[in-house]
Structures are given as C-alpha cells and as structure tokens.
Homo-oligomer: A and B are copies of this chain.
C-alpha cells in the first residue's frame, strides 16, 4: 500500500501544481520525508495523511481511496 500511496500522492501533488517543497512547507513536514513517502519508503501516520490531505483539499479517507484505486 505504501508504494500505491506514494504514487498517488505524487500524481495528485502534481495535479495541484505543487512542488515537493511547497507541499512539505504547507503540511509542516520535511521535503525529504515527502520524497520518501512518494517513493513508498515510508508508511505515513494517520496524522500525517490528514495534514497532507488538507493541503490537497481532500479528506484523509479520499486520499487513501485514491491510493486504493477507487477514484481517478
């Protein structure tokens, strides 16, 4: 799931026109951590998922659902 999450995060972030740096800044996370998430190297905590989802204007459940392949 972490790799699917990472790929989904990368895609939606780019759809929103955000760089890793911008997303990291707005979610109060480190850019290197965003990079690790997008490469599937880390499994984000629910709190982190929420912070990222908020920046992407999604609910946490929606972001996960995208990663599950139920939304395009």
Contacts and interface: CB of A to CB of B under 8 A. Distances in A.
A49 B46 CA distance: 8
How many chain copies does the complex carry? 2
A70 B68 CA distance: 18
Contact of A46 (B43, B65, B70): B43
Interface in A1-37: 1-2, 5
Contacts of A44: 45-46
Nearest to A46: B43
A69 to B, nearest CB: 10
Interface of A: 1-2, 5, 43-50, 59-62, 64-65, 68, 70
11 contacts: A1-B46, A1-B47, A43-B47, A44-B45, A44-B46, A45-B45, A45-B46, A46-B46, A59-B65, A60-B64, A61-B64
